[in-house]
Amino acid sequence: TIGIQEFVKKLKPKCIQLIDLLFFKGYTQQEVSETLEIPLGTVKTQNRNCINELRNLLRV
């Protein structure tokens, strides 16, 4: 995970926070929604977008 975290740090701050909560801290999407006080659908959309950004970084 050390290598992945270096790539995650290159993402937008909201993506860093979201990925940290979901993947490194093990929160569910519902828990992230409640913690960040944003709708569950927004968490899902941001998660998908952030993962796509991370994939693009990893392709380089």
pTM confidence score: 0.87
Are the C-beta atoms of 11 and 47 separated by less than 8 Å? Answer: no
Are the C-beta atoms of 42 and 54 separated by less than 8 Å? Answer: no
**pLDDT given for residue 3 in this prediction:** 86
Treating both helix axes as pointing N-terminal to C-terminal, what angle do 40-59 and 29-36 enclose, rounded to 10 degrees?
110
pLDDT in tens, 3-60: 888 999 999 999 999 999 999 999 999 999 999 999 999 999 999 999 999 999 988 6
Domains and CATH numbers, the chain: 2-59 (1.10.10.10)
